[in-house]
Amino acid sequence: MRSRADKEERCAMIKTEARRAQESKRQSRAVEIGTHGAWATWNTLARKLIRVDIWNI
């Protein structure tokens, strides 16, 4: 299809393909980063801990 397109159309097609590839990489990286630190999230209590609570743990 590119061989039949004129110079401007070929340029537009190449840019579209490049943007699509870049967006795909960006999305996969965002997912990777989002799950990277998920194990480190803490489930905290609804109230604040005081010194006595910490010593009793």
Q: Per residue in 37-57, pLDDT tens?
A: 665 666 666 777 788 877 887
Q: Note whether 2 and 10 are within 8 A (CB).
A: yes
Separation CA 8–CA 14 (nearest Å): 10
Instruction: Report pLDDT for 51.
Output: 84
44 alpha-carbon distance from chain centroid: 25
pLDDT of 4 > 90? The answer is: no
What pTM does this model have? Answer: 0.49
> What distance separates the 2 farthest-apart alpha carbons in the chain?
78
Q: Note whether 38 and 30 are within 8 A (CB).
A: no
Q: Note whether 25 and 14 are within 8 A (CB).
A: no
